[in-house]
Structure 1
Amino acid sequence: MTDVTGPTVEDTTAWWSTSITRIAPGEIDLRGYPIEQLIGKLGFVGAIWLLTKGSLPTPAQSRLLEAAMVASVDHGPQAPSIASARMAATCGVGINGAIANGVNVLGDTHGGAGQQCVELLCAIVDTARHDGRPVTEVAAETVAEHRARKAYLPGFGHRFHPRDPRRDVLLTLVREAVDTGEVAGEHLRAALAVEAALARGSRKPPMNVDGITAVVYAELGVEPELARGYFVLARSVGILAHAWEESNSGRRIKGPLPPPLLADYTGEPTRDFEG
């Protein structure tokens, strides 16, 4: 007969073991720091870095991360995530449901370009290192390969802005961090090389916010999927603001089209049912 024993106390407490937070009656430590020592001294972006990366950020890390997140907070109600949250807010789901609705729309196509661009820049840098080739050469090959496949190049060009207004200011901050030795600048050079290669074609799409924030995250050593998480955190601010504004508008059950407009019908014409 098989002797089956249940989990021990040690097994149970180890089930959700974590290196992030220690709690005990009257005590909360974040990565080993008592929370009462952090409140009022560590900024919110610093707390994000501490919890996700496991250490206190340097001034440069905090400055660049905050700049990237501020750049990503909102892009108006035409963004699907914002529109989704606003519609949900008129349906009585509550502010948390409206925010969740907006966040859940952030997928590979809407919200995923930053992660994809971090992956792209890291691949260019890694290939250049491995092959001992100039990053400009690898970037040009990458652009040519994407163009040959007619593939989307994440982080470059914008469907609305001829030149993304967030690009230049973030680029300046990264360049300053490179000049002071706070970041290496390899991923910045890769992104600029991609941009230069694109400029030699008929279309000359500059970096957009996903591209320049990808430079920030890659220079900070942020893993690609975590970079998407940072974008989601940042965009949640805009989602919250729009959901709250809409919830106070007084309109109920607001659909995607203003009444009396209706979506075009492209199906069969109305006909009698002969059963």
Structure 2
Amino acid sequence: MSDDAEAIRAWWRTSIIDMSPGKIAFRGHPIEELIGNVSFPQMIWLMTAGRLASPEEAALLEAALVAGVDHGPQAPSIAAARMAATCGVGLNNAMANGVNMLGDVHGGAGEQCAELYYDINERIDGGVSLEEAVHSGLDEWRTENGKIVSGFGHRFHNPVDPRAPRLMALVREAAKAGTVSGRYADIGEAVQANLSARKPLAMNIDGATAVIFCELGFPAPLSRGLFCLSRSVGILSHAWEQMQQGGRNKGPMPPAYLPKYDKV
């Protein structure tokens, strides 16, 4: 092979897929051996983490993915997908419109919370107690990000987000079975206790799924990507439902209600 040909082939380099005519292998596993033998969460794990997850690891990942699929048409990402569906675009366009709404404020809290948990864990590894690590970690968080701590508090679900206790119970069961360490469950609950010292504050879906993603060893940025995968299910179902309901050019408010005009 000429140097030019090799340079062209090396333009994109990947260890994810080995594909040539008649051959498809993911991370060294032929596709025909994966189909029917691994679950979708295991496939997600293989593609992102580079190895096949155990059934127990995959079950915990799946629980996090199930918990985050939807939060109703009032969620900006869902509303955007439904509005797009009334504008004559295809289902994939409506889904993309919704996924593209998942940013730092709406959709990024899981990544931010995972960063906080990893920071607290590093402080513990440095020799301080859990309580000291949480206290100093939160102080630094507030200095850099303000008083709102991602993963805690919810405008609808206070003092309990119904998703979080179930997820945390599954983490505790997995820790008891030796699937995960349970360290990040301790950190998450210690953060909640610190934040609830004066008034009860819910650990929300982002705080609980961040515990799971950290327990499973996923880097913090992947937390957002995994949440996007999860919420895509809700975005898909709402966009499809809206297409079945019909409607044309639906905006954020019924046409009888117009935005308030602020006179300059």
What is the TM-score with the length of structure 2 in the denominator? 0.95
Larger radius of gyration: 1
Matched, 1:60 2:56: yes
Identity over the aligned pairs, expressed in percent?
Answer: 52
1:136 and 1:222 mapped to 2: Cα distance? 24
Q: CA deviation at 1:95?
A: 0.5
2:205 and 2:118 mapped to 1: Cα distance? 17
SS at match of 2:245: coil
SS at match of 2:24: strand
Q: 1:215 to 1:260 in 2, by over 3 A?
A: same
1:140 and 1:207 mapped to 2: Cα distance? 17
2:146 and 2:217 mapped to 1: Cα distance? 30
Q: 2:129 aligns with which of 113, 134, 143?
A: 134
Q: 1:45 aligns with which of 23, 41, 47?
A: 41
| 1:170 alignment partner AA | L
Q: State the match for 2:120 in structure 1.
A: 124
Q: CA deviation at 1:7?
A: 6.3
Q: CA deviation at 1:145?
A: 5.4
Q: CA deviation at 1:178?
A: 1.1
Q: 1:225 to 1:147 in 2, by over 3 A?
A: closer
RMSD across aligned positions (CA): 1.5
Q: State the match for 1:185 in structure 2.
A: 182
1:181 and 1:44 mapped to 2: Cα distance? 23
The 5 A counterparts of 1:13-92 are 13-92=9-88
Q: 1:170 aligns with which of 163, 167, 171?
A: 167
**Count of matched residue positions in the alignment of Structure 1 and Structure 2:** 261
1:65-105 CA-to-partner distances (Å, cap 9, x unmatched) read 00000001000000000000000010011111100000000
Q: CA deviation at 1:109?
A: 0.3
Q: 2:239 aligns with which of 215, 240, 243?
A: 243
1:267 and 1:91 mapped to 2: Cα distance? 31
- Contact 2:157–2:202 under 8 Å retained in 1: no
1:40 and 1:129 mapped to 2: Cα distance? 41
What is the TM-score with the length of structure 1 in the denominator? 0.91
SS at match of 2:18: strand
- Contact 2:25–2:31 under 8 Å retained in 1: yes
SS at match of 1:200: coil
2:119 and 2:56 mapped to 1: Cα distance? 24
2:178 and 2:131 mapped to 1: Cα distance? 22
Q: State the match for 1:258 in structure 2.
A: 254
The 5 A counterparts of 1:187-206 are 187-201=184-198, 203-206=199-202
Q: CA deviation at 1:154?
A: 0.7
1:46-68 CA-to-partner distances (Å, cap 9, x unmatched) read 11111111100012210110000
Q: CA deviation at 1:237?
A: 0.5
SS at match of 1:29: strand
Ranges of 4+ aligned residues in structure 1 off by more than 2 Å? 140-150
Q: State the match for 1:271 in structure 2.
A: none
> Unaligned 5+ residue runs, structure 2?
none
Q: State the match for 1:212 in structure 2.
A: 208
- Contact 1:143–1:198 under 8 Å retained in 2: no
Q: State the match for 1:157 in structure 2.
A: 153
Q: CA deviation at 1:141?
A: 3.2
Q: Which moved more, 1:146-155 or 1:227-236?
A: 146-155
